[in-house]
Amino acid sequence: MKFVDEFRDADLIKKTAEEIRRLAGTTRHYRFMEVCGGHTHAIYRFGLKDILPENIELIHGPGCPVCVLPMGRIDDGLALAADDHVIFAAFGDMMRVPGTHGSPLEYKARGTDVRIVYSPSDALKLARINPDRHVMFFAIGFETTAPSTALTIMRARAEGIHNFSVFCNHVTIIPAIRAILDSPDMRLDAFIGPGHVSTVIGCRPYEWIAKDERKPIVVSGFEPLDILQAIVMILRQMRAGEAKVENQYKRVVPWEGNRAALRAMGEVFQLRPYFEWRGLGFISQSALRIRDSYAEWDAEQRFQVPGVRVTDPKAAQCGEVLKGVLKPVQCKLFGKECTPEHPLGALMVSSEGSCAAYFNYEHRKAMATSLSRSA
């Protein structure tokens, strides 16, 4: 399959891993953060950690939108769904994320009208076919999914669909990276830049990381060879004493981004003054809200939102894992009280969560190895 098979070629992967070992040497320890949760899953799924030299450490970043959403926002959305007149619509990866009184799926089991949709336009379709109900779409995601939400709101206004609104939880990647770099307990040498987000915003917004922070950043795809090539590009920069933005994912990511998508976002959204992130606290200018010109389709302006603030369970260490301070396995609850079957935190639920990735690919492998030895 084009753009897949050639990026999984065993010989090329072996040669690239050898080049990484040559460039990395043995005298220095490197800490690279992969910002995107999709990269984290690819690293574990394809066993890339096992072929990298020991002096290259990959740190999991905050690039999972489900993971960084604070529990209070989930409670707020579900509180609005308690009205029998409301249909709560959300992506499938939100269904098992726990709020204070349960996940959307548990609310559904209690009788709340919760629906899984695959796009915002699916939620708008629900509004069309249920004119006597109000459909509230629980929007989530970085700049990757924000354009589709914006276009759906624009379509709702154009078609005069008034029984539809969006509870907006879209966040932006740049302030999160800045918060990570400002964290006093974090030392990073470089970034593997997010591929999906960059298809929308392009590469230019990362230039301050190279210019001001003097750290290389390479936007990468998600196949094994993509990620390994990105590491090679980072190491070559560091060997040359350089710090710049490079685009490994040129087959998908335009340097200037998707201008049509950016225009749609600018039409519908504006930046919030502050927004709370799980593990990172309140970050200014880090999330999107719907403009007043589209207030009729903004659930937060149409309804009375409780504004719940909830701290994570004290024993859970989601914040430290999100910031890359701890590895998933270092959390006291990992693999014990917190598992994919019984998650206590969003990092174990989300399809891009680092805890779920580690559990499914590393923890299970270790358990299988242990069982085979004991047998």
Please tell me the predicted confidence (pLDDT) of residue 373: 53
The per-residue pLDDT for 94 is: 92
Residue boundaries of the structural domains of the chain: 1-313, 318-366
Residue 310 token pair:
């909830």
pLDDT of residue 350: 79
Other beta carbons less than 10 A from residue 369's beta carbon: 10
Residue owning tokens 């089991």: 109
Distance CA 25, CA 19 (A): 10
> Using CA atoms, how far apart are residues 133 and 167, in angstroms rounded to an integer?
16
Q: What tokens appear for 44 in the block? A: 């574990």
Three-class HEC string of the chain: CCCCHHHHCHHHHHHHHHHHHHHHCCCCCEEEEEEEHHHHHHHHHCCHHHHCCCCEEEEEEEECHHHHCCHHHHHHHHHHHCCCCEEEEECHHHCCCCECCECHHHHHHCCCCEEECCCHHHHHHHHHHCCCCEEEEEEEECCCCHHHHHHHHHHHHHHCCCCEEEEEEEECHHHHHHHHHHCCCCCCCEEEECHHHHHHHCCHHHHHHHHHHCCCEEECCCCHHHHHHHHHHHHHHHHCCCCCEEECCCCCCCCCCCHHHHHHHHHHEEECCEEEECCCEEEECCEEEECHHHHHHEHHHHCCCCCCCCCCCCCCCHHHHHCCCCCHHHCCCECCCECCCCCCCHHHHCCCCHHHHHHHHHHHHHHHHHHHHHC
Per-residue pLDDT of 64-94, as tens digits, reads 888 889 889 999 999 999 999 999 999 998 9
pLDDT in tens, the chain (375 residues): 566 788 899 999 999 999 999 999 999 999 999 999 899 999 999 999 899 999 999 998 888 888 889 889 999 999 999 999 999 999 998 998 888 889 999 999 999 999 999 999 999 999 999 999 999 999 999 999 999 999 999 999 999 999 999 999 999 999 999 988 988 878 899 999 999 999 999 999 999 999 999 999 999 999 999 999 999 999 999 999 999 999 999 999 999 999 999 999 999 999 999 999 987 889 999 999 999 999 999 999 999 998 878 776 667 788 788 777 888 888 888 888 888 888 877 788 877 788 888 888 876 555 545 445 555
Note the pLDDT of residue 365: 59
**Residue 275 burial by CB count (10 A; 0-12/13-18/19+): exposed, middle or buried?**
buried
Count other C-beta atoms under 10 Å from residue 276's C-beta.
17
pLDDT at res. 371: 43
Q: How far apart are CA 302 and CA 175, in angstroms?
A: 28
Q: 287 pairs with which residues across the strands?
A: 171
- Compute, in degrees rounded to 10, the torsion defined by CA atoms 79, 176, 62, 69: 0
Distance CA(25)–CA(147), nearest Å, equals 43
Reply yes or no on domain 1-313 having CATH 3.40.50.11740.
Answer: yes
Answer whether 229's CB lies under 8 Å from 248's CB: yes
